[in-house]
Chain A
Amino acid sequence: MKLMVVTILIISIILCRYAYALGIATDYGSEVVNVPLNQKTAFFSFRLQNMEDEETTVMIDVNSEKNITKLLNESKYTLAPVTRGSEFLIELTTPEDAKEGDVYNVTISIKQVSKQEGQVKVGQGIGKKFQVKIEGNESPFYSPLKREESRKIINETENSSSPTSFAIVKENNVDFSIIFAVLIILTVLIAVYLYRRRSM
């Protein structure tokens, strides 16, 4: 058995079994970022989550066609244990020669830096792709707070314990006390008018 007498190779010994849990959260619909032609810069944000009990260090790399992106945070970042919502910003700069309809592909690459040494380490990487689309000069942004025909949005003043400062109320929510007050006033006015007319 020739194999039995040749050199033994030891590749690694596993000492511990960590788990990685890295997440990247982005706004719904952000796969395409519309930027008006006359708007020189725009921003794309994403949030990182680390739900492990230990801190983890990540390397963030952003690449794009025509180099239109710039990460506004440090490219090496340590996430605290059980962290949600660490926000990162990418500045998007419209190229000088950009024209309406141009599309630029952007790739975000996030890699965990392994803390283990001397083994066959296997790290985790998450990639995120989106496109930057150049649009006409009119603002393409829409309000996420859509109005419904039968409803209007008002400031909520009833209770500060509300989760938000706004409330959506039904438009046909008529306050009857106001109606009755108006009726009473009208009645009094007519009565006064009649009384005066009679005494004339």
Chain B
Amino acid sequence: MKSIKIGISLIAVIVSVTMLYFNIPVFGDSSDTTIVSATLTNRAPDVYALSTISAQDPAEGTTKTVVFNCSVQDLDGISEVTVVNATFYKATETNRTDSTCSVVETVNTTAKKYECSIDMQFYDTTGEWNYQCYAQDASSSSDTMSSTFTYNSLESWTMTPTSIGFGAIYLGGTDIGATDDPITLTNIGNHDFSGVIQVTALDLTGATNSTQYIPAGNFSVKTTDAHGGNAMVNNTAVTISSTSLPKGADSTEALYFYIEEVPSSGLSYQIYNTAGLGQWTISTA
């Protein structure tokens, strides 16, 4: 009889210690023998798994959809979970969110796997971003889980038009703007190009008589519609002053091309172009 008592005590100790250690909920207070009813308390949902996100390249001028999975359980029943959403965040950056992640699998009566899909903008900053899954139940109890992924660098911009002309000009003419001014540059990546825009010009040779040419040094480039910009140097990259092309949703910069002065002699009536020596180049260092 004594052995049975010891055995029962041993079992009780094991059960108690285990339940205390793992914080297993109890449905009544054993120290109060007058209890005749018990109250079921709400158990918060548990976001217990996230899929990893590999490093992502931004997409030129558009969004990059990033997808990951998030697993949620609620011991009161998965139907208790009313909200599952996801957020990408980084200090000083705008949060990117999926307000409603969609169910991709019902694991069991207490757990589901969700798919969250978030669009990253092309101008979002490169670096380590946090991603978080949030779950909330009908009683507004909630849980989150987060991790990080890498958003890569994209140096990209557009330019239009891709050729310019000056129409008919005269010997000795001055301060002649290109008929197609400006060439507009638009930043479609997540890199800041301010101050690093360069133009490489080449002498324009005659289409009929290639020994005649208009020197590159007679041209200038500026960010405003006026002559007196940075003078070009034949076959040399010249950094244009005061350029501003930061990353952003609608970041543009205009370049105006001018002939400062047409040589007053030594040129005949013909077309002068880049066919002989090659194209001009707008570049970012």
Give the CA-CA distance A85 to B24 in the complex, in Å: 51
Question: Of B22, B49, B153, which one neighbours A169 at CB under 8 angstroms?
Answer: B49
Complex partner residue of A19 from B53, B162, B166, CB under 8 angstroms: B162
Q: Could you tell me the distance between the alpha carbons of A2 and B49 in the complex, rounded to whole angstroms?
A: 82
Interface size on B, residues (CB 8 A): 91
Interface-side segment among B30-38, B142-150, B243-251: B142-150
Instruction: Report the minimum CB–CB distance from A97 to chain B (whole Å).
Output: 29
Given contacts A6-B172, A9-B169, A9-B170, contact A21 B283 (CB under 8 A): no
Q: Contacts A11-B165, A114-B162; is A84 near B59 (CB within 8 Å)? A: yes
Residues of chain B with a CB closer than 8 A to A84's CB? 57, 59-60
In the complex formed, the residue of A with least CB distance to B155 is A24
Given contacts A12-B271, A117-B275, A122-B159, contact A163 B53 (CB under 8 A): yes
List the A residue with the shortest CB-CB distance to B128. A28
Contacts of A170 in B (CB 8 A): 46-49, 145
Which DSSP category, helix, strand, loop or mixed, fits chain A's interface? mixed
Determine if A121 and B162 form an interchain contact, defined as CB atoms under 8 angstroms apart.
Answer: yes
Q: Is B78 an interface residue (CB 8 A)?
A: no
B234 within 8 A of A: no
Cα A94 to Cα B115 with chains together (Å): 45
A67 to B163, CA, bound (A): 35
Which of B15, B57, B173, B285 interacts with A183 by CB under 8 Å? Answer: B15
Give the contacts of A124-165 with B (CB-CB under 8 A). Answer: 124-129, 144-146, 148, 151, 153, 156, 158-159, 161-164
Whether B53 and A3, one on each chain, are in contact in the complex, defined by CB atoms closer than 8 angstroms, is no
- A116 in contact with B272 (CB, 8 Å): no
User: How many residues of chain A have a CB within 8 Å of chain B?
Assistant: 79
Query: What residue in chain B is nearest A26 (Cβ atoms)?
Result: B153
Complex partner residue of B162 from A4, A10, A122, CB under 8 angstroms? A122
Interchain CB contact (< 8 A) of A144 among B150, B168, B268:
B150
The one of A19, A116, A156 in contact with B49, judged by C-beta atoms closer than 8 angstroms, is A156
Q: Does B268 lie within 8 Å of A7, measured CB to CB?
A: yes
Return 19 A-B CB contacts under 8 Å, by A number.
A6-B171, A7-B170, A10-B169, A11-B271, A11-B272, A25-B156, A26-B155, A27-B55, A49-B156, A122-B159, A122-B281, A125-B283, A144-B55, A161-B69, A168-B147, A170-B48, A191-B7, A194-B3, A198-B4
